[in-house]
Each structure stands twice: as structure tokens, then as C-alpha cells.
Amino acid sequence: MLRVITISNEKGGVAKTTSTLSLGAALAELGHKVLVVDLDAQANLTLSLGFEPGESERTSSDIMLDNAPLLSACRKTDVENLDLIPSSSRIETSEQFLPVRTNYMTILQRAIANAPSMPYEYIILDCPPALGAITQNALAAADLLLIPTQAEYFSAYALRNMMTLIRRIREEHNPNLAYRILVTMLDKRNRTHRNIHDQLRATFGEGVFNTVIEIDTKLRESPIAGLPITRYKTGARGSTQYRVLAQELMEYAKETENRQPA
């Protein structure tokens, strides 16, 4: 069964791309066929897997702007079971041109639905740090929105806008959209981090993953090597925690298969 996961937060620097790459690689390591999709004009996910933005014949912008078939833009990576749809700076024009089109909010949803004989079990969409047309498309296409959030005031505050957008997407395009918050870059020695983490759990309850991603310098180094953390330093804390997240995500998928979103 195909699962589409969108990774998004309006706040930048909260490990969206790191989580897309690391979670995708952890799922692939468990034998699942995974496609990660770079929807950000900065193309950090593309770079993190060793590709130069702009070198690919087709990118995510061709899907968004030209209705190219989803699978026509897929690239094999050096990680077994993990494929990529790269990005380029051209996708930035989507914010200008998409809103004048009819049914523009469901372009990604339709591209995924129309892909013949889909070879993937998971598609993970990496969004830009904004809540515009690209991110809204990704939410309309998703089964689950994963929201990486630092245990810091401004990152937690940004969740207000995310919750408002989730309600609107549910009402207009995707009634079954669920969400889960992932606390990232956590420093357990920091009292403020611990307090905000506790507040997030008290506020959102089961809407917060049990798994947390702690600060790990290896997570910052791995993109430079063009490898996910699970391949770059297989025994690193970040590798272990994203593997645990992958297991929790799979359990969540089983439990919620026939339930309404939280």
C-alpha cells in the first residue's frame, strides 16, 4: 500500500530536508521502495544525494508546471531502494504561475494517482519553508503531514499557522490528512528544550511522535558526503533515532489504516 508523507514547516532550519533524507533511507534500509521528492528551489535534498541541481533532464518543476508524468523525473540514487525526483530553481516560479490555473491545488495528487504501476511503498515530499502553492499541493496529496519542530519558542509558535492550513486543506482538498509532530535538534541538557518538548506533548498528545531526534553533528556532515546518515555513519545517534522513527511510522501506518485522522 502506497503511503505519501509530506514533510513541512513554515519555519526554516528545523531539519525538514534532513528528516526527508534520513527517514527515507531508514525505510529503504528496511526493504521498502522509497521515492523522495525535492520541492524546494534551494534543492538541498538533491544536493544531499549527490546530484547537481539543474543537471537532470526532468525535475519536480516539470511535474508541477508542465504536467510531466511523475515517474519520468525519477533518478536512481546510490542508496538501495531509494530514488529521487530532483529539484531546480525553476520550481520557484510555481508560486507565481500555479494559482491562475484551474484545480492547481491537486496537481501533485493527480500526478501520483495517475502514475501507472507505482513501484514505491513510500513517497516523501520535501517542502520549502513556506505555506504557498507548492506546500499546499504537497498537503493535498499526503496521507500524513510530518512536521519537524525544534523545541524552541519560534519553531513551536509556527505550528499555529500549520494547524490553520491543515484545517483548510482537510475542508477543501484532503479530508483524510493526518499530522504528526517530530521534535528535532533536541538538546536534553537544555532546560528550555525539555520544557517546550513537554508542552508540545501536553498540547498535541498523540499528535507528537514518541521518537525525538537529538542534536548530532554527523547529521550535518552527511549531506556533504552526499549520503544519508544511515549510510554515512551507520552507528551514529542520528542513524539510530531515524531508524526508530521509521519503525514508529510503520506501526502508525498499520494502526491508522482504517481510522480517521487525529
Give the residue from 83, 121, 91, 96 showing the smallest Cα distance to 108.
Answer: 91
Q: Which amino acid is at 12?
A: G
Share of the chain above pLDDT 90, in %: 86
The answer to whether residues 87 and 46 touch, using CB atoms and an 8 Å cutoff, is yes
Domains plus CATH for the chain?
A: 3-255 (3.40.50.300)
User: In the chain, helix, strand, coil percent, each to 5?
Assistant: 50, 15, 35
Share of the chain above pLDDT 70, in %: 98
Residue 139: other Cβ atoms inside 10 A: 27
How far apart (Å, rounded) are the C-alpha atoms in residues 67 and 65?
Answer: 6
pLDDT band at 258 (very low <50, low <70, confident <90, very high): low
Length of the chain: 262
Per-residue pLDDT tens over the stretch 4-55 = 999 999 998 999 999 999 999 999 999 999 999 999 999 999 999 999 988 8
pLDDT higher than threshold 90 for residue 104:
yes
Q: What pLDDT shows up at residue 54?
A: 80
**Sole residue written with cell 498528545:** 205
* Mean pLDDT calculated for residue range 74-99: 95
* Mean pLDDT calculated for residue range 50-67: 93
Q: What pLDDT shows up at residue 86?
A: 98
pLDDT higher than threshold 80 for residue 262:
no
Can you give the pTM of this predicted structure? 0.95
More confident residue, 226 or 164: 164
Specify the pairing of strand 178-186 against strand 75-76: unpaired
Q: What pLDDT shows up at residue 259?
A: 62
Torsion region of 67: left, alpha or beta (phi above 0 gives left; psi -120 to 50 gives alpha): left
Q: What pLDDT shows up at residue 70?
A: 97
pLDDT higher than threshold 70 for residue 225:
yes
Per-residue pLDDT tens over the stretch 198-214 = 999 999 999 999 999 99
Torsional sign, CA 48, 53, 55, 60: positive
Q: What pLDDT shows up at residue 165?
A: 97
Q: What rounded mean pLDDT belongs to the chain?
A: 93
* Mean pLDDT calculated for residue range 164-187: 96
How far apart (Å, rounded) are the C-alpha atoms in residues 94 and 83?
Answer: 23
Q: Where are the beta strands (DSSP E) in 177-229?
A: 178-186, 208-214
